[in-house]
Homo-oligomer: A and B are copies of this chain.
Amino acid sequence: MKNKKYIIAGAGLGGSLLGVLLAKKGFDVEIFESRPDMRRHDIAAGRSINLALSDRGIQALKKAGLSEAINKIMMPMAGRLIHSVDGQKQNQPYSGKKGRVINSISRGGLNSILMTEAEKYDNLEIHFESKIIDIDWDKKEFTYWSDDADSAKKEDFDIIFGADGAGSEIRTNYQRGGLRMFNYSQEFLEHGYKELEIPSNMDGSYKIETDVLHIWPRGQYMMIALPNKDGSFTCTLFMPYHGEQGFDNLKTKDQVSNFFNEKFPDAVPFMPTLLDDFFENPTAPLATVKCYPWVKGGDSALLGDAAHAVVPFYGQGMNASFEDVGVLDDLINQDPSLNWEEIFDKYQKLRKVNADAIAELAIDNYKEMRSHVADPTFQIKRHIEMALESRYSDFNSKYSLVTFEHEVPYSVAKSLGERQDEYLMKICKDVKDWTSLDLDDIYNDLIKLRK
């Protein structure tokens, strides 16, 4: 019996992990990646350099037996460090429970580990600089363009996974006729982002605290910084494109210099290449992509950003993508007959509501990060949440539900978290001394919000 041929478009984070898990089952897998092999070329351009890996992502990596290898390249961050304009710093832990951290990790480093793991399997092959450009669903044949060939080539397939990111060619095929009645939306924020850098000291040591995610919240805009293993930090400035406080108004070196000196005075001394970085690095847009269906019968399925690109403010884009792969893997394992139409239909029904939830949470969290973290009521709320999490093992704040409770689906984390937030913000309004509040009473009210 000829084996089925599983094609994955995209050797990024989700595609590579899926490749590993399918190859592990003995399936014949070929991955087509339009870019060159990042292990041999420097192709960071335009994509964020480091990401926050948290529990949901780690769960899926464990399935591939990779959590130890990955441990070595992560930098734990136990909370946010808020930088005020006046240079004051305030630590806001992510959780009141011990040991809960999110992890700064290099996109390239993680992707390289996944690719190298994938290529250990004889039944898996990655074709780099090879882009799927057309699919004939009736003939079960796709066309791809390979940079080392003179012309497009055709190859047959049984199943094609679209793990090819926010600009997915597979999803575009669905939209342009591959699927009837394909619902699709792409929606841009009016804000863009630009990456900047805090380099290491001469001796390779770090210039600022490494075990936190730094935030300079400034209302309409913000800068953040995540540590890298090499002693540097990747900074990202998020701000509107247009308007008074927008990229539009940062066109000359003087403007940029004045702006940073005025708004981020404590960071400027650590950013010696600020002006060069600012004008060399692109200003990139931020979009949310939603679609449905995610699958074409038993022939094809989308995952990760291809199915649900989100804005980066909850640090869950990669984690959601890995969770997709984990759920697919579970569903495959639960169906020894491999009825792909059923597997895919269950997959999209399980995942769609959760992808929608994290997409909305991510948009909401931008406001929290750039503005609320500096608000006194919000700070009191965080104090109470920390105290509750510390005292009651079964209480989790919205942030913890989303980030640390991988058994709670995003959609449930969102709805319960929002009910908790509404209650707590009411409690915290006009409170001067939060330690005067009765935690037991609050806890008893909060557990009633569970359904």
- A187 sits at the interface (CB 8 A): yes
CA distance A77 to B13 in the complex (A): 59
Whether B184 pairs with A185 at a CB distance below 8 angstroms is yes
Contact residues in B for A287 (Cβ distance below 8 Å): 181
With beta carbons under 8 angstroms apart, the residue of B181, B183, B185, B285 that contacts A181 is B285
Determine the interface band of chain A, counting residues with CB < 8 A from chain B: 10 to 19
Among residues 167 to 207 in chain A, which have CB atoms less than 8 Å away from a CB atom of chain B?
175, 180-188
User: How far, in Å, is A275 (CB) from chain B's closest CB?
Assistant: 25
User: How far, in Å, is A363 (CB) from chain B's closest CB?
Assistant: 14
**Given A180-B285, A285-B180, residue A187 in contact with residue B186 (CB < 8 A):** no
Contact residues in B for A183 (Cβ distance below 8 Å): 185-188
Contact residues in B for A187 (Cβ distance below 8 Å): 183, 185
Among residues 281 to 308 in chain A, which have CB atoms less than 8 Å away from a CB atom of chain B?
285, 287
User: How far, in Å, is A308 (CB) from chain B's closest CB?
Assistant: 14
Chain A positions near chain B (C-beta within 8 angstroms):
175, 180-188, 285, 287
Cross-chain pairs A/B with CB under 8 angstroms, 9 sampled:
A180-B285, A181-B188, A181-B285, A182-B186, A183-B185, A183-B187, A183-B188, A184-B184, A185-B186
A-B contacts besides A183-B185, A185-B187, 12 pairs, CB < 8 Å:
A180-B285, A181-B188, A181-B285, A181-B287, A182-B186, A182-B188, A183-B188, A184-B184, A184-B185, A184-B186, A185-B185, A185-B186
Contact residues in B for A285 (Cβ distance below 8 Å): 180-181
User: How far, in Å, is A187 (CB) from chain B's closest CB?
Assistant: 5
| CB-based closest 3 A-B pairs | A185-B185, A181-B188, A183-B187
CA distance A182 to B185 in the complex (A): 10
User: How far, in Å, is A183 (CB) from chain B's closest CB?
Assistant: 5
Contact residues in B for A186 (Cβ distance below 8 Å): 175, 182-185
Contact residues in B for A175 (Cβ distance below 8 Å): 186
A181: nearest chain-B partner, CB-CB: B188
CA distance A432 to B38 in the complex (A): 75
CA distance A184 to B188 in the complex (A): 9
User: How far, in Å, is A283 (CB) from chain B's closest CB?
Assistant: 10
Contact residues in B for A180 (Cβ distance below 8 Å): 285
A172: nearest chain-B partner, CB-CB: B176
Contact residues in B for A185 (Cβ distance below 8 Å): 183-187
CA distance A180 to B185 in the complex (A): 15
Contact residues in B for A188 (Cβ distance below 8 Å): 181-183
CA distance A55 to B186 in the complex (A): 34
User: How far, in Å, is A185 (CB) from chain B's closest CB?
Assistant: 4
A175, A181, A182, A184 interface centre (most CB from chain B within 10 Å)? A181
A180, A185, A285 interface centre (most CB from chain B within 10 Å)? A185
Contact residues in B for A184 (Cβ distance below 8 Å): 184-186
CA distance A188 to B291 in the complex (A): 11
CA distance A175 to B182 in the complex (A): 16
CA distance A188 to B182 in the complex (A): 7
CA distance A182 to B184 in the complex (A): 13
CA distance A185 to B183 in the complex (A): 8
CA distance A185 to B292 in the complex (A): 12
CA distance A188 to B181 in the complex (A): 6
CA distance A181 to B187 in the complex (A): 8
CA distance A184 to B175 in the complex (A): 12
User: How far, in Å, is A62 (CB) from chain B's closest CB?
Assistant: 37
CA distance A182 to B187 in the complex (A): 7
A185: nearest chain-B partner, CB-CB: B185
CA distance A181 to B284 in the complex (A): 10
A241: nearest chain-B partner, CB-CB: B181
A176: nearest chain-B partner, CB-CB: B172
CA distance A186 to B179 in the complex (A): 13
CA distance A181 to B288 in the complex (A): 11
CA distance A181 to B191 in the complex (A): 10
User: How far, in Å, is A273 (CB) from chain B's closest CB?
Assistant: 27
CA distance A399 to B175 in the complex (A): 34
CA distance A392 to B285 in the complex (A): 52
